[in-house]
Amino acid sequence: MNLVVGVGLRGGTSYRELRDLVNDVVAEAGGGVVRVVVTVEGREAEPGLQRLAAALGAELHTVPAAELSRLPAPTPSEQVELLAGTPSVAEAAVLVAGADLLVPKRRSPNATAAVGRLPAPAYTAGEREVVHRVLAERRDVRRGFIDRPIDDDLLMRVLESAHRAPSVGLSQPWDFLLIRDIATRRKVHDLATAQRDAFAASLPPDRRQAFDGLKIEAILDTPLNIAVTCDPGRGGRHVLGRHADPRTTWFSAAIAIQNLWLAARAEGLGVGWVSFFEPGEVAAVLDLPAHIELVGYLCVGHVEEFAPAPELVRSGWAARRPLAWAVHYDQWGQRGTTSIEDDAAQAGKAQAVGKQSVRVVVGGDAAEHLELADALVVHLGSEKPVADFGVLWRPARTPVEAVELGVEVARDLALQGVGELVVQVVEQSELADGLARGLRAGALACGVAWSG
């Protein structure tokens, strides 16, 4: 346990007296390591106190009396206030250090001491900044790779970080297949190209034009590809935490990829994740054993630079979702504003990034509408429909929830390049009307043209 000891003392108090008092209060707290000794400003030069801090291996901090006097110490003293300018030194010193008071003020003839518990220490401000920088500056890189081999030690450091990822039951279900062979990479590249073409063909014309300008992989532009795989059976029958949710195995492997991605960024290595594949086809090219599944296919290499923002943002393909949209308080949909429509109106930060027109059909038979690439059918029923990216399942339970889900749909479409919603309400119900109202509110808030 990390402790902070607050000390009040008269001038000239001996080291021995302080030591005995502090030993007593630390023992009363149940023991622990004293990280900080805090006292009132003006006492820092006291030899007994300095020796105490040195003997404990603790930092000695001082705080102005005025600051201590503002803290609600449980045992204030008028006498101390007259002498020190604050009604509490020891207890207030513990509180000012951000600790929870464990042992209130105890006295010796010339000193007082109190003990508090410090939470586990955070990194220093500078260290924290670096961690947050890596998180913010990690990029999916597809272009700008340079012809430079990857040093083995560097690669092992990155893989070591990936391998340190958390995993369900410590099953570590991942493996890293390092692929340098150009013939293999060509075959994988062919698979990605075929999927790219198929995706392009599924897009409405304006969206397709935008997609044509995007690069979606760097399989042949990088010296190294890494296939990160998952063994769903790793660890046998009784893997702790997996029994109720087998997906945790795949989550674990995905987290390993994120660790790899971040470590690579810190080391100056670019990583691009390619998922334009049928995973089974890649597994066949890589000749994976049948029980091993592909989770992620990564293109890795040194790069000219890391872009300041995601490529999909810079190209205008998509926009980032504001954090406020993703945070709910206690109940789904409760986002700290009075109503979802108010919330939509305050969504000023997210503006539609594109001009694509989408025809949103609320209710009705999906098959009738999905022939055309610009249609999106919203299914409100409680039965989950057959998976199809053209059908959005939004099983609203109340008209209010339907409004909210409509707002969300409009906002999410705005982030994905939609600039116009043409809403067609097929279903006659309060829920359908609510959803349409939400679509309108969300569209207007994001600058998306609306008609219906």
Ligand X SMILES: Cc1cc2nc3c(=O)[nH]c(=O)nc-3n(C[C@H](O)[C@H](O)[C@H](O)COP(=O)(O)O)c2cc1C
Q: Which residues bind ligand X (CB under 6 A)?
A: 139-140, 142, 216-217, 273-276, 310, 312
Residue showing the smallest CB distance to ligand X in the complex: 310
**Cβ-based nearer residue to ligand X, 50 or 416:** 416
- Closest approach of ligand X to the CB of residue 271, in Å: 9
| Look-up of token digits 């190294």 | 224
Report the distance separating Cα 248 and Cα 163, nearest Å: 16
Place of tokens 């410590």: 170
Task: Report the nearest approach of ligand X to the CB of residue 245 (Å).
Answer: 19
**Amino acid residing at 120:** A
CB 137 within 8 A of CB 145: no
Cβ 216 to ligand X, closest distance in Å? Answer: 4
Q: Which is nearer to ligand X, 139 or 335 (CB)?
A: 139
Our CB check for ligand X shows the closer of 99 and 262 to be: 262
Return the ∠ at Cα 93 (arms to 90 and 96), rounded to 5°. 155
Q: How many CB atoms neighbour CB 311 within 10 A?
A: 18
Minimal distance, residue 421 CB to ligand X, in Å: 23
Type of residue numbered 18: L
Of the pair 140, 401, the CB lying nearest ligand X is at: 140
Smallest distance, ligand X to C-beta of residue 309, A: 8
In the complex with ligand X, the residue whose CB is nearer, 15 or 276, is 276
Contact partners, residue 289, CB within 8 Å, separation at least 6? none
- Least separation, in Å, of the C-beta of 317 and ligand X? 8
Shorter beta-carbon distance to ligand X: residue 307 or 422: 307
For residues 71 and 117, give the distance between their C-alpha atoms in angstroms, rounded to a whole number.
17
Strands in 111-118's sheet, in edge-to-edge order, are 59-63, 33-40, 2-9, 111-118, 100-107
Q: Are 65 and 86 in contact (CB under 8 A)?
A: yes
Q: Which pair of tokens denotes residue 172? A: 């570590």
